[in-house]
Amino acid sequence: MDVGIKIVFDLLAFTSVMVLIVLGLGVIASMMGIFNFAHGEFVLLGAYTLFLFQESGLPSWMGILAAPIVVACVGLVLERLVIRRFYAAPIIAMLGTFALGLVIREIVRGLLGGHYKSISEPLAGTITVAGIDFSVWRTTIIVTALVVIVASYLLLSRTSLGLQIRGALENPALARGCGVSTKRLYAMTFAFGSALAGLAGALIVPLYQLSADIGTRFLVQAFLSVMLGGVGTFEGPVLGAAAVGVMASGLPWLVQPVLADPLVFVIALAIVKLRPQGFISQGRT
Amino acid sequence: MADFRSGSKKREGEGAVPIDAGRRRLLTGAGALAASGWIAGVAGGWMLRAPFAHAAGPIKMGIATDITGAIAPSGNANWQVAQFAVEKINKGGGINGQPIELYLEDTASDPKIAVGNVRKLIQERKVNVVLGGITSAMRQAIKDPIVNRGRTLYIYPQLYEGQECTKNLYCTGPTPAQQCDELIPYIIKTMGKKRFALPSANYVWPQLLNKYARKVIEANGGTVVFEEYYPLDQAEYSATIGKIRDGKVDCVFNTVIPPGLQPFVKQLYESGFQKNGGVVSCVYYDENLLNYHPAQEMEGLLSCLDYFQAIDDPFSKQLQADYSKKFPGTKFLFTAGSASTGMYRGIKFYETAVKATKGDLKREAVAAAMDGAKLAEGPGGGAEMVPGKMHCKMNMYIAVCKVDAGKTRYEVIKKSNMVDPKEC
């Protein structure tokens, strides 16, 4: 029983990490039709922001709050300068964002001197409930992931801003005709997606290690999640991330760990083959 | 109409070719950039001129190490230690009065780049000996251009998985026997831990080290509960932690490496493994890794290496002090895990051999003198090339990580004199 609860907790914790990372990518892919290959580097920038705060002796919670703001600003600038030129050509956008990601990654690598940095958890230790130890920080990540999902969902489905975003997604020309500035909306959506990536980076980096490649580790699985869940909705990528997260952490219980990694892809690709539109399909087709 | 149509078709066709080629160029360009890292392209060669002249010219020593790329921190430490050791020799009048000239080529953590750069050392610089390479993949890539095609002596300084028995290739770092023969019996007999787990990164060093470790564990009455390999960047280890708990493992003999290392150690600590009396040992941990994990996760970790800064040996202490004086405040430490001690030992072995040949730098003569060469002193003590084996005996130390007021340090708990490498 204890072991069962522990397994469920571990699966949930890793799934939350996946969901946090995929959320920003999913929002940008679904709402704007752009696959942001620099997403991993936005995650890295969030992690790096927390590192800078800790280095300069500022409290960690400040770093975690600052990370999404800093990365949103970076995202906004990049959108205005570069990304907006790619909206007409999604394939070129992949190459362009890949290049941006490469530049960011190698700059951070230079700043870190190629080292791996250990970031301590803002809330360390474990809490014991009914004789079972739970890591405080993993619990925080699970709770934050839930809060962020619900908040993002409400923002997109219940506010007038969300309505405008969804409108611009369905029919950009009509939205513009109704006086909605799609230019402004796209910039804001991109910044919002970047902010989610920054938050994810700051939250997960204490579990791992800060190195320039922290984002690339998750990038391919994140794309798989978006494909699996389906582009064009908010729920799709979240469900896809949950599926990939459960598979990635659950399969090593059943098979050799070296096999588990490729097996996640095999299963996911098989599902995509059977359901090319993803778990949920709607919106731009 | 017909003319116009065929003309327009032609224009399309003409246009398509350059666009396609351009895109292909762009793709290969981006690929090469990603593969080589950002400053690999500008890496030229470096040279440290001999400080004085000699009728026979200087002895040319080539260093091929990873100045850039993923393992640049270790490579730079190697380069600094090489400069340090050579400067000491030159200040003392060189080898038989002949100064050493030092040549550096960057192997860039990438065997493909390394092979070309190492050839430069051999063909253009015409060095008498090459020292360097850190990973086994690097050694495998550069040994042929150096030893076979290049007909030059090669010294490999890093602790490794053993089984390198190429003629004219000398290994000056610890082998699996040196790292396991003392540590594992200590864990089993002195600490009373008998149930081992061998979680490992999936590449050659852990595979071969585990093969040897398993033999030593079983010979000493211990059991291997599981031996498992992970992708190098695995981020989630709950299944492994579950097996450790269910298998009642009391010693984790870890060969997981970064970037997969940090999440593994964290999850292991969170599971309460150490709190419940479990022991973690990891034989590549040196001073560079002291701050790799939060202090509480490091506490009690066992390592076994040829040198620790905590060793109470006057020569080693002086060496460390001199190194700090030459490179004040450097972040590239003189440690065992980064091949630095092997580099120092390698240069001193070469010095001893050339002294014995009375200045004859021919490979066969120097190799013959290397065989059975002895160093009276060095980091962690002296060393002795085992005749015919191309590996050396050296002192090995078992150290445990202690935490004082949140600061981590190693405490040496056992010294073993002149441990046999048992290779070749």
Smallest Cα distance from A165 to chain B, Å: 34
B230 at the A interface (CB within 8 A)? yes
Q: Which residues of A touch B261 (CB under 8 A)?
A: 209
The answer to whether B259 contacts A208, with C-beta atoms less than 8 Å apart, is yes
The answer to whether A133 contacts B230, with C-beta atoms less than 8 Å apart, is no
Q: Which residue of chain A comes nearest to B40, CA vs CA?
A: A106
What's the angle, vertex CA B48, arms to CA B45 and CA B53, rounded to 5?
A: 130
Residue B391 bridge partners (DSSP): B171
- Across the A/B interface, how many CB contacts are shorter than 8 Å? 104
Say what the pLDDT of residue B419 is.
Answer: 94
The answer to whether A3 contacts B233, with C-beta atoms less than 8 Å apart, is no
Q: Which residue of chain A comes nearest to B243, CA vs CA?
A: A253
Say what the pLDDT of residue A281 is.
Answer: 64
Would you state the structure tokens that stand for residue A38, as one six-digit string? 């620099």
Say what the pLDDT of residue A41 is.
Answer: 95
The answer to whether A3 contacts B230, with C-beta atoms less than 8 Å apart, is no
ipTM summary value: 0.81
The answer to whether B242 contacts A116, with C-beta atoms less than 8 Å apart, is no
The answer to whether B73 contacts A115, with C-beta atoms less than 8 Å apart, is yes
B240 at the A interface (CB within 8 A)? yes
- Classified as helix, coil or strand, A22 is helix
B247 at the A interface (CB within 8 A)? no
CA distance A18 to A30: 17
At A225-257, the pLDDT tens digits run 988 888 878 888 899 999 999 998 888 888 888
Amino acid code (one letter) for B335:
T
Which candidate from B34, B271, B296 shows the least CB-CB separation from A102?
B34
Q: With 50 as the cut, is the pLDDT of residue A15 above it?
A: yes
Would you state the structure tokens that stand for residue A107, as one six-digit string? 């700059």
Q: Which residues of B touch A253 (CB under 8 A)?
A: 238-239, 242
Under the banding of pLDDT at 50, 70 and 90, the label for residue A119 is confident
At B148-203, the pLDDT tens digits run 999 999 999 999 999 999 999 999 999 999 999 999 999 999 999 999 999 999 88
The answer to whether A211 contacts B259, with C-beta atoms less than 8 Å apart, is yes
Report the candidate in B79, B48, B62, B78 with the shortest Cα–Cα distance to residue B122.
B62
Smallest Cα distance from B99 to chain A, Å: 33
Rg (CA), chain A: 19
Say what the pLDDT of residue A221 is.
Answer: 87
User: Which residue bears the tokens 């009396």?
Assistant: B277
CA distance B274 to B367: 48
The answer to whether A11 contacts B294, with C-beta atoms less than 8 Å apart, is no
CA distance A126 to A118: 19
Domains and CATH numbers, chain B: 43-173+313-390 (3.40.50.2300), 178-305+398-419 (3.40.50.2300)
Smallest Cα distance from A174 to chain B, Å: 34
Q: Which residues of A touch B262 (CB under 8 A)?
A: 116, 118, 207-209
Which candidate from B231, B292, B296 shows the least CB-CB separation from A118?
B292
- Classified as helix, coil or strand, B396 is strand
Do A19 and A228 touch, CB atoms closer than 8 A?
no
List the pLDDT tens digit at each of the 424 positions of chain B.
333 333 333 333 333 333 333 344 443 433 333 333 333 333 457 888 888 888 888 999 999 999 887 788 889 999 999 999 999 999 999 999 999 999 999 998 889 889 999 999 999 889 999 999 998 889 999 999 999 999 999 999 999 999 999 999 999 999 999 999 999 999 999 999 999 999 999 888 899 999 999 999 999 999 999 999 998 888 889 889 989 988 999 999 999 987 788 889 988 998 889 989 999 999 989 998 887 788 888 899 999 999 999 998 999 999 999 999 999 988 889 999 889 999 999 999 999 999 999 989 999 999 999 998 999 999 999 999 999 999 999 999 999 999 998 889 999 999 999 999 999 8
At A83-108, the pLDDT tens digits run 888 888 888 888 999 999 999 998 99
B262 at the A interface (CB within 8 A)? yes
Smallest Cα distance from A277 to chain B, Å: 29
What's the angle, vertex CA B211, arms to CA B417 and CA B292, rounded to 5?
A: 70
The answer to whether A118 contacts B242, with C-beta atoms less than 8 Å apart, is no
Amino acid code (one letter) for A135:
S
Q: Which residue of chain B comes nearest to A101, CA vs CA?
A: B34
User: Which residue bears the tokens 């599926």?
Assistant: A243
